[in-house]
Structure 1
């Protein structure tokens, strides 16, 4: 169902992402660490879930945000361990998985249930045995940026675990998705020489918004699936406002099934604003300059010199290198696009909300 607001899990519902899915499946076969990046609501979790469903490799998938929520905001070793235990238990009908786990000290079985004695079991010991799987075994972490709440060192032990696996276990694959700055800035730590993952090769699949034509075809197909005829001019206007962000298009489509075109657009922007309020707060926690840069770009400062002058006019006399670093992180984490020296906010809805002073 194209207008299902939840992440997709079937290839038939993954609209126009065949090439990206093929690329991801190839990386999972060949690369120790794969990261799916892209702006929020573009479909990263859906791509991950469909890949996990369609690959011939065995895998487990952990939603780190769910663990964070269930643990009341601080993820401990037990929280993660029991989540992994639950996912591995689902695989016990596969005899080869059961055989591999039976070799882990502290693991015992009763039928199709498994018990882990976490006084003896370690995550590294589990990975060591899964490494003996005949095909590369995938450990997928959705919303991996929430690992910064793991333990008392901001997720460093998980980074160390992945780095150790990278160096030592040829048959283990890690797949990570997450919100843009949270994943790139906090977990991968691209510019942090002290980050355990620094220097390791990480295959990055950048998921881009739909093109204009693909967005229009998506909405047409979604309405046809719901046996609803919507005038083409309304579909085109919706695309003009929402661009190619799949989440916005789905939200508009769901609203349009019950409301007029104008009401559906208005409700889509209202919902997006609620989501963006929290995201911008998270962005500001890392550096107030990120949000300032977005505001300057939305207001028309589209080249580096204009953005730098906007910072200075606001009373922030940041150096050129500091401003360049902020813009590079925003670009790398899919908030902004830089084309031939011209910066723009990728999410057209966010740009319009900022321009209208809705934050």
Structure 2
């Protein structure tokens, strides 16, 4: 069902991502792969469908920030394949234990979903050992920060220098595909909302499959009207993206300045530099970090917030 709120797990449920799915099949024959994309673009659905087709192992690492947490999740999912890993002495190395798990997963494809918050240096050293030693193919998802940056943009000092994975980036649906997606989902419920409502939903939600599916679910399953459904999606999206923005701002030297910058968008470099009164180096670093976190993007010479829910949220801060 297209409007099911859970990640998709079968090819027939995965709308508009046939090209990316086939590319994932092709690339993993010889390479590790990183699937990039903003929240609600369907990274997890693409990964789960692919892993189900190849008999791979899915590991959800959302919110996991330690090697211990990583190993515990890896072991938990490995046990679903009847692979048992016994703990060693009381004092153990979590990295060494992870190596033991990977050694028992040889010949498999493993999907590591949302890896960006794991300890970067420890993970890169572990991944080098896995690359060099074990016949394991890995697929990673996340945004271009932390471990993902270390994978795709390794420095000469990095353990994975010269071993960059291939990259697949998921974008929101174009408007016409977004409309087709909603209409296909409505047909599953024998509903035919006015075309103008469908087009407004796509424009308001930016073509993000996750937000569109949520809107469709509110209409078809919860029985809400068009306006009520849009507001419900915004309310839910606001909670999710507020936490994402708070996580990004945590630990920044001047979080208020980032908020001021976001409120100025869309804007060009010169406009931001003048309005914020900061030097070019500081502005460059701020914009780079926001782009890597996939909160903003640059179109031509203009910086924008692509997710309409995030745009509205920022204006309300």
Report the TM-score when normalising by structure 2. 0.86
1:124 to 85, 99, 116: 99
Contact kept in structure 2, 1:189 and 1:198, CA below 8 Å? no
Q: Which residue of 1 aligns with 2:16?
A: 16
Task: Work out whether 1:271 is the aligned partner of 2:236.
Answer: yes
SS in 2 for 1:22: helix
What is the aligned length?
Answer: 310
Q: Are the aligned partners of 1:289 and 1:326 in contact in 2 as well (CA < 8 Å)?
A: no
The Cα shift of 1:91 comes to: 2.8
**Contact 2:102/2:136, CA 8 A, preserved across alignment:** yes
| 2:54 is equivalent to residue 91 of structure 1 | no
| Mapped contact 2:151–2:165 kept (Cα < 8 A) | no
Q: Is the 8 A contact 1:37 1:178 kept in 2?
A: yes
Q: State the alpha-carbon separation in 2 of the partners of residues 25 and 62 from structure 1.
A: 18
Give the 3 Å change call, closer, same or farther, for CA 326–167 of structure 1 in structure 2.
Answer: farther
1:22 Cα shift?
Answer: 0.9
Corresponding residue number in structure 1 for 2:168:
205
- How far 1:87 moved relative to its partner? 2.7
The runs of 5 or more residues in structure 2 that have no matched partner are none
Q: Structure 1: how far apart are the matches of 2:45 and 2:254? A: 31
Name 2:26's counterpart in structure 1: 26
Say which of 234, 257, 261 aligns to 1:296: 261
TM-score under structure 1 length normalisation? 0.77
Q: Does 2:290 correspond to 1:330? A: yes
1:37 aligned residue: 36
Q: How does 1:1-359 map to 2 (within 5 A)?
A: 1-31=1-31, 33-55=32-54, 58-65=55-62, 68=64, 75=66, 77=68, 79-92=69-82, 114-119=84-89, 122-128=97-103, 130-131=105-106, 133=107, 137-147=108-118, 154-169=119-134, 171-179=135-143, 181=145, 184=148, 188=151, 190=153, 196-257=159-220, 258-285=223-250, 287=252, 292=257, 295-296=260-261, 298-312=263-277, 317=278, 319-355=279-315, 357=316, 359=317
Cα displacement (A) at 1:173: 1.5
**SS of residue matched to 1:62:** strand
333-342 or 1-10, which deviates more: 333-342
TM-align CA RMSD = 2.8
Q: Report the equivalent of 1:98.
A: none
1:13 deviates by: 0.8
Looking at CA atoms only, which structure, 1 or 2, has the larger radius of gyration?
1
Note if contact 1:37-1:333 (Cα within 8 Å) is conserved in structure 2.
no
Superposed CA offset, 1:162-219 (max 9, x none) = 02222344x322211125545545x648477765445531212110000000001111
Q: State the distance in 1 between where 2:260 and 2:179 align.
A: 29
Alignment check: 8 A CA contact 1:181 1:330 kept? no
Unaligned stretches of 5+ residues in structure 1 = 69-73, 93-112, 148-153
- Structure 1 residues 332, 203: closer, same or farther in 2, change over 3 A? farther
